Structure 1
Amino acid sequence: MSLRDPPVWNGPSGDPNDVQFGDVVEPISSDDADGFDAVLVGEPYDGAVIGRRGAREGPAALRDALAGVKTHHFGAGAVGSVGDCGDVDVPDGDVGRVQEAVLERTRDLHASDALPVFLGGDNSLTYPNAAPLLPASLGVINFDAHLDCRELRGGPTSGTPYRQLHEAGLDAYACVGARHFETSTTYAEYVAERGGTVVTSEAVGVDPENAAERALDAMGAVAAVYVSVDLDVLDVTAAPGVSAPTPGGVMSRELFEMLRTVAADDRVAGFEVVECAPPLDTDGRTAAAGARAIAHFLSGDDGGRP
């Protein structure tokens, strides 16, 4: 798998007791992925964004923010072993060609024993990130303000990945955090016709734990579950640095709780955080939320609260 060399990680704290992700993430070759619980892969690309661009700078910003996050969770303790394989060398060309090239690399990563964690980059790469898990039965839990199942009119975009996955054989789909007035009736009906589940941001606000359980129930008996976080699922106050920020979204604490619940499912076979656009951000707020989403997911769910 052709990847750019990973960066060197350093925890910024001067206190030796402050163990941070920057102290424990190891730069590795993809050939060494089997020795880690999870491996990070950056995808610096935003050529398919429908709205505002900037997500190609997301992987670097997420790494910088994660480096300073401490590794301890009060319920679960420290995170497991994490490697960083570097960034995908995204080629020039149309979106379809980019997806095909990325797919060649993600196949190798999914073949390892480690959980792949993709750092986006725009949402169009969700398709090559998850597609290697097909044709085995696959479900996707999509934390997102949008359903991203648009028709491919002239080619894929950041709004088409779940249409592409459905056409490739996706068995189950749940969108958690969807916002009213952000999706057309046609696409809502498309998801409903395929047995998909939509959990609105209002439902999350009432009961985040139940929202996560509804998403897991929607997976049925699939063999593998892929989990995607589009950071525009968060309210604009928590994540201004995305392509399409809007009010009325999920709060960061709600997202973290749901991610820990979902991560506990033994079928989880991949995870991504996409649409972090640093040039559009305010005080690094979006990258900080994305980094902590990664930390919470990697800590899993110890079964307790809070």
Structure 2
Amino acid sequence: MWNGRFDSDDVDDLRLWQIIKEFNENESQNGIVFTGYNTDDGIIRNLGRKGAVDGSNAIRKACSSLPYIKSFGDIFDTGNIDKYKLEDAQKDLAGRTSLAITLNCLPINLGGGHDIAFGTFSGIRDAFPDKTIGIINFDAHLDMRCYKEQPTSGTMFKQILDTDDNVNYMIIGYQDMGNTLRLRNLAQEKGVVISKVGEPFDVINNKLNDFLENCDLIYTTFCMDAFDITEAPGVSAPSSVGLEKRVAIQIFKNIIMSGKLKAVDFAEVNPTLDNDNRTARLVSNFIYKILENRGA
């Protein structure tokens, strides 16, 4: 799953693909742990465009040739979850996420549909049963739809907020045109902190700082449809006017530097629609920010 440019085996020439280790719970401590969430079952249920099932390997490919620096520490990979049904995949992901956190590692989960979020969150909650978890969602959509019929890639944050009272939710890159009045009213009722697409950096950052103060730990999730279609074409529901990537990268750096980040995931990367691998390459920029700044 990991391969890329080869310069040499000298320490100054190393790239990520050369140092990735297979996850072993007896050896994996204080590192970063990748897991692939290989299902777009939730997207299909949500009537989206299929293809994100292969997103995790596309992200790995985009990250493989990134330069490695010793300060990054150890990086592990648990492989891909092979359970395609949404509920089964979420349960497996929750277990892997919880284990990684227990070993003092940072899970980076790669999707797949945005229903990945329920699996990641469940693993965090298992590891931290009494902590106030802050969810920061880079997304155009609230993803708080009704799940009476069945869960999808658009229901998970309602599922979380309905069943857990010790959670705060912030969305960055929100767009009115992607959310019905019912969803907006529900978000207001649940106290969701909303940062709309186009807000100046200072405004977003002030909201973020207030949000961080009220949380014990942070889980950040990226639905790549938050970004403009010119920067992220390979998604289920592309945005014609999306979040500006440089603003998002700086905001994400501030989240990392808070010292509260405990898990990250990236969703909706669809390589069948991804012109020149732009979406996967954009994800690699966010992942490199984690590597650069996690220990700072």
What TM-score does the superposition give when structure 2 sets the normalisation length?
A: 0.88
1:31 to 1:274, Cα distance in 2 relative to 1, 3 A: farther
1:234 to 1:219, Cα distance in 2 relative to 1, 3 A: same
Q: Say which of 234, 246, 251 aligns to 2:227.
A: 234
Show CA shifts across 1:232-278 (max 9, x none).
11100000000000211112222211111111112211111111110
Distance 2:138 2:161 in 1: 17
Tell me if the contact between 1:44 and 1:120 (Cα under 8 Å) persists in the aligned partners: yes
Distance 1:291 1:28 in 2: 20
Alignment of 1:27-38 (within 5 A): 27-36=22-31, 38=32
Q: Say which of 150, 154, 157 aligns to 2:149.
A: 154
Alignment of 1:133-152 (within 5 A): 133-134=124-125, 135-136=129-130, 137-152=132-147
* Matching residue of 1:113: 104
Show CA shifts across 1:22-52 (max 9, x none).
233333324432142x111111111110211
* Matching residue of 1:224: 217
Tell me if the contact between 2:21 and 2:75 (Cα under 8 Å) persists in the aligned partners: yes
Give the partner amino acid of 1:184. Answer: T
Deviation at 1:165, TM superposition (A): 1.1
Alignment of 1:48-63 (within 5 A): 48-49=42-43, 50=46, 51-63=48-60
Q: Say which of 65, 71, 80 aligns to 2:72.
A: 80
1:178 paired with 2:174, answer yes
Structure 2 residue runs of 5 or longer lacking an equivalent are: none
Distance 1:257 1:183 in 2: 26
1:46 paired with 2:40, answer yes
Tell me if the contact between 1:44 and 1:87 (Cα under 8 Å) persists in the aligned partners: no
Deviation at 1:71, TM superposition (A): 4.2
Q: Say which of 62, 72, 89 aligns to 1:65.
A: 62
* Matching residue of 2:95: 104
Q: Say which of 256, 261, 272 aligns to 2:249.
A: 256
Distance 1:57 1:84 in 2: 19
Show CA shifts across 1:144-173 (max 9, x none).
111111110311100011111112315211
Moved over 6 A (4+): none
Tell me if the contact between 1:116 and 1:269 (Cα under 8 Å) persists in the aligned partners: yes
* Matching residue of 2:123: 132
1:225 to 1:34, Cα distance in 2 relative to 1, 3 A: same
Deviation at 1:279, TM superposition (A): 0.7
Show CA shifts across 1:34-74 (max 9, x none).
142x11111111111021111111111111110122347xx
**Which moves more between the two structures, 162-171 or 175-184?**
162-171
1:220 to 1:190, Cα distance in 2 relative to 1, 3 A: farther
**Which moves more between the two structures, 21-30 or 219-228?**
21-30
- The number of aligned residues is 286
Distance 2:122 2:271 in 1: 27
Distance 2:96 2:16 in 1: 25
* Matching residue of 1:3: none
Tell me if the contact between 1:260 and 1:299 (Cα under 8 Å) persists in the aligned partners: no
Deviation at 1:92, TM superposition (A): 4.4
Deviation at 1:222, TM superposition (A): 2.1
What TM-score does the superposition give when structure 1 sets the normalisation length?
A: 0.85
Q: Secondary structure at the match of 2:36?
A: strand
Tell me if the contact between 2:143 and 2:153 (Cα under 8 Å) persists in the aligned partners: yes
**Which moves more between the two structures, 40-49 or 97-106?**
97-106
Give the structure with the higher percent helix: 2
Give the partner amino acid of 1:168. Answer: T
Give the partner amino acid of 2:177. Answer: F
Distance 2:68 2:196 in 1: 31
Deviation at 1:229, TM superposition (A): 1.0
Deviation at 1:87, TM superposition (A): 2.4
